Structure 1
């Protein structure tokens, strides 16, 4: 049975392979990116089919998306907290995307029950939105 740390490392290593990623999750496993809500985006994905659809979008959104500089900060057999980075280019805008993620993984019976990640949403908007930050603040004018 895999520990939380082993599961996190497999998740990070296989981020470009949706089929492999889904196998790592429990049937009701979830990925949460809570700060996506601040940009008016979905922030919770649960279940194999929903997760698969989310993960298959990553290679379409970013060129050569791979995590690096992984730092495990807290570890127990069923939970792990780490920081990890990505430095890629957004496919649609051609803009750089550098991000440091903070992630907590909870495991259950050797599978991922939950991954909750935090990230800099300004970096997301600058890289992905057609008009960068202007797209966030345009309704507020």
Structure 2
């Protein structure tokens, strides 16, 4: 059996292409692979999701709130075989009809053909407007 090893570019392209399929997206991560969303704790989202099972559950939860979530464009600005830095964007609506428009900036670290780390940042105000019942007013001060 031949194992195909993906580099960082191939992994981010596979992840963004498969985000609407939580199983496919989560299998791209190493057993100790992590998604870090450092600023989202104030929205009730854990800042660190570790392991394929937890990542699959996280993506499933996201799709319950934003069923048509999918990345429209991926731009890679810095790249080596094992790391990339770039932006990926989404334009859709939440289940209650709110616009969900976001550009993520992220760094992906690949190890042994899997995602070891995906650290993303995004516009917290835009996320709050889309995801919280009272928008930005629900962000704790």
Task: Give the TM-score, by structure 2 length.
Answer: 0.91
* Counterpart among 115, 128, 131 of residue 131 in structure 2: 128
Displacement over 4 Å in runs of 4+: none
Alpha-carbon distance between aligned partners in 1 of 2:77 and 2:117, rounded to the nearest angstrom: 17
Alpha-carbon distance between aligned partners in 2 of 1:133 and 1:54, rounded to the nearest angstrom: 22
Q: Deviations over 1:50-71 (max 9, x none)?
A: 1111011122111311111211
Alpha-carbon distance between aligned partners in 2 of 1:105 and 1:82, rounded to the nearest angstrom: 9
Q: CA RMSD in A?
A: 1.3
Query: How many matched pairs?
Result: 137
Q: Deviations over 1:20-66 (max 9, x none)?
A: 11211110101010011243531100012211110111221113111
Q: More deviation in 101-110 or 52-61?
A: 52-61
Deviation, structure 1 residue 115? 0.2
Counterpart of 2:36? Answer: 32
Alpha-carbon distance between aligned partners in 2 of 1:53 and 1:103, rounded to the nearest angstrom: 20
More helix by share: 1
Counterpart of 2:62? Answer: 58
* Counterpart among 9, 18, 31 of residue 22 in structure 2: 18
In 2 relative to 1, CA 74–16 (structure 1 residues): closer, same or farther, beyond 3 Å? same
Structure 1 portions without partners, runs of 5+: none
Counterpart of 1:70? Answer: 74
Task: Give the TM-score, by structure 1 length.
Answer: 0.91
Structure 2 portions without partners, runs of 5+: none
2:110 is aligned with 1:114: no
